[in-house]
């Protein structure tokens, strides 16, 4: 319940409209009470006494009451729905903003589908509950109160009899409510699994087809759907049981009241008008009670969903600005790794980087080579603080990177990786992502530097071509050049190239390489080398093996040392491997 109250705290900014809505809800409830009240004068004065004035007054009163009631209901629903939609919008914005603040480790631990389900289906469950809540809860409670007044005024003893059925109904509603909440939690989890599966098989459509897995994927989806269906059916069994059971309990009360009330009318204690007015009020209570029990079910569902929402929302990002973080305006001197040890949070036993001490001076080109899994990507990921060192520290111009604002650190570092992330937008906007304030000419210039201008011009809509999700409408080499143009536009003093060309075929690789060479000019570069030519040109080469620095020096020095690097080089050279991908060679 605590979580649900937190959701309701999102209503605060809209308190004024909600207050008005609550007042109109009371007006509507009062009209319900008044209608039940009118049954007595109608019976006793019109039908028993045959009073002509009343015959005119009551129909007019009824029209008047329904007019007020209609306007009140419209106003109440309008205002409450307004508040609800705004709350949901605010909540989704908060979750999304929170996602944006989280570190990469957070995304590694969770699937895209899982995160999507929190912001879509969990928030959706909350929204549905709120709709029920805002439309029904307050008005129905007020209506019940108004009708209760009528009951007690007409005959308090009968009214007390009617109340006897309340406690058992309450217990019933509570029991089933708990069950519904538990089932909702499970089904929201299933919903998340489903989203994950959906994201995977839709975005992996190419692989699904290549392996002829369409049928299996459908089966897998159907199986998950079936699990969700079973849970939903269990929930239906519980939630649909509430109203009929409560109704049946109510019928016991009604039966007793007709018997006792009828006896009292026969003995003259009550007028028929009293009795019918009482019965009208009692019958009119049926609908609010039914709606309230449904509201309870949906609040239980929403509580379960809210729990899942706040579970994520309450996580603190593990990488964030220190309270005393400083801005760095420019990169002046060096980046220094000081006895850096690193283990991934999900595998704290294994050191991925061991005792790395290293200084890269401004303008240097550092090539990092090593087997796949040696820790090359991990090493460079520490520079823009995608992860923080587990032990030891990283200094930029003498300042610990953990004492530098993330924003300023990331604005002086540029990253181009093997995995190219483009957005489903125009090429122009994808390049502009590098520096959103850039001018049109600057974007074109960046594209020229990245060797992308020519092919972009040849596209049907040039720079306005929309490139599809993840850039599916471009070839690998074209995508990479757009990504490079983006980095050129950003113009960061520190550049990280993580196997930027390794996913490409030889032909497009050559063009990308030219673009990369231009991008590297005048910058401090960490390049996870893929081509021997790049490595040879590096000011220093770092050979990484199982997270440790094995060798470090210039191409010439390392050859003279006769270690790992020279063995590799000889192997390549003798087999005429010159300018062949390093990955083709077994380290
Ligand atoms: N997010 C992660 N969580 C746990 N282990 C990881 C993660 N990313 C990489 N690793 C492990 O860390 C080691 C180094 O990985 P990586 O730096 O990507 O190597 P390289 O780039 O040299 O191929 C590998 O053994 C890999 O399995
Ligand atoms: Mg790597």
C-alpha dist (Å) from residue 251 to 209, 270, 288, 315, 427: 60, 22, 15, 50, 69
What CATH code is carried by the domain that includes residue 288? Answer: 1.20.1560.10
Q: What's the pTM value of the predicted model, to 2 decimals?
A: 0.81
pLDDT at 292: 85
Q: How far is the CA of 352 from the centre of ligand 1 (A)?
A: 7
Last residue of a domain, one of 442, 476, 491: 491
Q: State the average pLDDT over residues 151-165.
A: 89
On the question of pLDDT at 581 being above 60, the answer is: no
Confidence of residue 576 (pLDDT cuts 50, 70, 90): very low
Do 297 and 438 share a domain, yes or no?
A: no
- Among 254, 285, 313, where does a domain finish? 313
User: What is the tens place of the pLDDT at every residue in 210-258?
Assistant: 889 999 999 999 999 999 999 999 999 988 888 888 888 888 888 999 9
Among the bound ligands, the one closest to the CA of 376: 1
Report CA torsion sign: 542, 544, 548, 551: negative
Residue percentage of the chain with pLDDT more than 90: 49
- Note the pLDDT of residue 572: 61
Whether 575 shows a pLDDT value over 60: the answer reads no
Place of tokens 């032990």: 391
pLDDT of residue 586: 42
Same domain, 123 and 254: yes
Mean pLDDT of 121-147: 84
Query: What would the pLDDT profile of 70-86 be if each residue is shown by its tens digit?
Result: 999 999 989 988 999 99
Residues 11 and 151 in one domain: yes
Residue among 106, 342, 352, 372 to mutate when testing ligand 1 (max atoms within 8 A of CB): 352
Q: What is the pLDDT of residue 530?
A: 64
275 burial level (CB within 10 Å; 0-12, 13-18, 19+): buried
How high does pLDDT run on average in the chain?
88
Tokens of 425: 């937008």
The predicted structure's pLDDT at residue 501: 78
302 and 447 belong to one structural domain? no
> Which ligand gives the minimal distance to the CA of 419?
2
Ligand 1, pocket-test mutation among 341, 347, 371, 373, most atoms within 8 A of CB: 373
Do residues 173 and 293 lie in contact, with contact meaning Cβ atoms separated by under 8 Å? yes
| Among 287, 384, 288, residue whose Cα is nearest residue 335 | 384
How many domains, in total, are found in the chain? 2
For residue 132, pLDDT beyond 80? no
The parent domain of residue 439 ranges over 425-491
Task: Indicate which atom in ligand 1 lies nearest the CA of residue 370.
Answer: 22
**Within-domain flag for 583:** no
The answer to the question of residue 574 being in a domain is: no
Pocket of ligand 1 (CB under 6 A): 108, 344, 346-347, 352, 370, 372-378
The answer to whether residue 531 is domain-embedded is no
Task: State whether 439 and 305 are in the same domain.
Answer: no
Helix (H) or strand (E) holding 549: strand 548-553
Does residue 564 fall inside a structural domain?
no
State pLDDT tens for residues 264-301: 999 999 999 999 999 999 888 888 888 888 888 888 88
Is 156 contained in some domain?
A: yes
Does any domain span residue 106? yes
User: Would you say residue 226 lies in a domain?
Assistant: yes
pLDDT in tens, 298-354: 888 888 899 999 999 999 998 999 999 999 989 999 999 999 999 998 888 999 999
Would you say residue 401 lies in a domain? no
């Amino acid at each position: 319940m605590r979580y649900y109250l937190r959701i309701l705290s999102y209503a605060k900014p809209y308190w004024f409209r909600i207050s008005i809505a609550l007042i109109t809800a009371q007006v509507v409830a009062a009209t319900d009470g008044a209608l039940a009240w009118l049954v007595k004068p109608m019976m006793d004065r019109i039908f028993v006494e045959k009073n002509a004035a009343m015959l005119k007054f009551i129909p007019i009163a009824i029209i008047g009451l329904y007019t007020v009631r209609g306007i009140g209901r419209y106003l109440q629903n309008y205002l409450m729905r307004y508040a609800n939609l705004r709350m949901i919008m605010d909540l989704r914005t908060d979750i999304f903003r929170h996602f944006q603040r989280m570190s990469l480790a957070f995304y590694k631990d969770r699937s895209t589908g899982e995160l999507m389900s929190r912001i879509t289906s969990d928030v959706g469950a909350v929204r549905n509950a709120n709709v029920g809540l805002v439309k029904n809860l307050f008005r129905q409670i007020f209506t019940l109160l108004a009708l209760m007044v009528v009951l007690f005024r007409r005959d308090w003893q009968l009214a007390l009899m009617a109340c006897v059925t309340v406690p058992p109904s309450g217990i019933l509603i509570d029991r089933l409510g708990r069950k519904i909440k538990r089932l909702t939690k499970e089904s929201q989890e299933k919903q998340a699994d489903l989203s994950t599966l959906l994201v995977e098989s839709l975005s992996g459509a190419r692989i699904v087809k290549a392996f002829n897995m369409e049928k299996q994927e459908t089966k897998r989806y159907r199986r998950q759907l079936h699990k969700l269906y079973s849970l939903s059916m269990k929930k239906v069994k519980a939630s649909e049981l509430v109203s009929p059971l409560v109704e049946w309990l109510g019928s016991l009360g009604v039966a007793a009241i007709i018997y006792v009330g009828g006896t009292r009318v026969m003995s003259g204690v009550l007028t028929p008008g009293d009795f019918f007015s009482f019965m009208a009020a009692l019958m009119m209570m049926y609908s609010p009670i039914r709606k309230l029990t449904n509201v309870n079910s949906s609040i239980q569902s929403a509580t379960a969903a809210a729990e899942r929402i706040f579970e994520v929302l309450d996580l603190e990002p593990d990488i964030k600005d220190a309270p005393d973080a400083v801005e760095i305006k420019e990169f002046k001197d060096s980046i220094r790794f000081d006895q850096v040890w690193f283990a991934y949070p999900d595998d704290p036993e294994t050191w991925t980087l061991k005792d790395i001490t290293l200084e890269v001076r401004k303008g240097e080109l550092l090539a990092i080579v090593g087997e796949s899994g040696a820790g090359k990507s991990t090493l460079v990921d520490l520079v823009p603080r995608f992860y923080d060192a587990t032990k030891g520290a990283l200094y930029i111009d003498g300042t610990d990177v953990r004492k530098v604002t993330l924003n300023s650190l990331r604005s002086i570092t540029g990253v181009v990786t093997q995995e190219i992330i483009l957005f489903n937008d125009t090429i122009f906007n994808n390049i502009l992502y590098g520096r959103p304030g850039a001018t049109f000419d600057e974007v074109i210039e960046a594209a020229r530097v990245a060797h992308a201008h020519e092919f972009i011009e040849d596209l049907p809509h040039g720079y306005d071509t929309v490139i599809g999700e993840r850039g599916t409408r471009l070839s690998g080499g074209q995508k990479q050049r757009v990504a490079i143009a983006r980095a050129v536009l950003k113009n960061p003093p520190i550049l990280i190239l993580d196997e930027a060309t390794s996913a490409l075929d030889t032909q497009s690789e050559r063009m990308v390489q030219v673009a990369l060479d231009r991008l590297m000019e005048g910058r401090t570069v960490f390049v996870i080398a893929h081509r021997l030519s790049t490595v040879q040109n590096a000011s220093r080469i770092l050979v990484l093996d199982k997270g440790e620095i094995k060798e470090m020096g210039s191409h010439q020095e390392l050859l003279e040392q006769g270690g790992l690097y020279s063995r590799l080089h000889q192997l390549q050279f003798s087999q005429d491997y010159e300018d062949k991908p390093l990955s083709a060679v077994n380290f």
